[in-house]
Structure 1
Amino acid sequence: MDVKLLGLSLLLVLFCPGWAKEKMCLKSASSCEQCLQSGPECAWCIAPQSNIRCHTSDGLQRAGCQKNNIYNPQGRVDVVRNEIRLLSRTEPANAVAWYVQPQELSLRLRPGVSQIFFLTITMLTDQPISEVNLGTSSVPKGVTITFRSVVSKNPVVMEVNVEADQCPNEIEDSNQSQNLTGPWSVQITLRGFTLGVKLEITLECQCECTSNREENSPSCGGRGSLVCGQCECNEPYTGLQCQTNSSLPDDDSCHPGPNATVCSGRGKCVDSFCECDKPVNPAQRYSGQFCECSNFDCPKHNGRLCGNHGRCICGSCICNDGWTGEDCGCTMNASRCVTTDNRVCNDKGLCECGVCRCSPQYAGPTCETCSMCPSRCLQHVDCVECLAFRTGAKKDRCDQDCGYLTVTVMETERSSPQPGEILCKRQSHEDSCAFYYTLQRVPFREERAVVWAKECPSAL
Structure 2
Amino acid sequence: MWIPLLAFLTVGLVSLQKGQRGAGPVLWLVRLLAAVVPGLCQSPINRCIISNAATCTNCLAVGPECGWCTQEDFMTGTKQKERCDVVLHLMKRGCMADFIESPKIGVTKPVNGANIQVIPGEVSVLLRPGSEASFMLKVQQLEKYPVDLYYLVDVSASMDKNIEKLNSVGSDLSQKMENISIDLRLGFGSYVDKTVSPYISIHPGRIHNQCSDYELDCMPPHGYIHVLSLTDKIAEFRSAISKQKISGNIDTPEGGFDAMLQAAVCQSHIGWRKEAKRLLLMMTDQTSHLALDSKLAGIVIPNDGNCHLKDNVYIRATSMEHPSLGQLSEKLIDNNINVIFAVQGSQFHWYKDLLPLLPGTTARQIESQAGNFSDLVVEAYKKLLSEVKIQVDNPMQDINVKITAICPDGSRKPGLEGCKNVKSTAEVLFNISIAMEGCRTTEGRKYVMLKPLGFNESTRVNIHKRCACQCEASIKRKRICIDEMSQEPETSYCKGGICSSSDEFSSEECKMQKDHLICSGRGDCVDGKCICHKTKLGTIYGKYCEKDDFSCPHHLGNLCAGNGECEAGKCKCFGGWEGDHCQCSLSLWKHCMNSDGQICSGRGTCVCGRCKCTDPSSFGHLCEFCPNCRTTCSDKRNCVLCHHSNSSQITLDQCKTSCAYRLHYTEKSSECTSDASHFRIFFIIFIVTFLIGLLNVLIIRQIILQWSNNKIKSSADYRVSATKKEKMFLPTVCTKTVTYRRDKPEEINISKLQVNETFKCNS
The verdict on a shared fold, with TM-score over 0.5 as the criterion, is no
Instruction: Give the structure with the higher percent strand.
Output: 1
Normalising by structure 2, what TM-score? Answer: 0.24
Question: Larger relative contact order (C-alpha < 8 A, sep ≥ 6)?
Answer: 2
Instruction: Give the structure with the higher percent helix.
Output: 2
Normalising by structure 1, what TM-score? Answer: 0.38
Which has the greater radius of gyration?
2
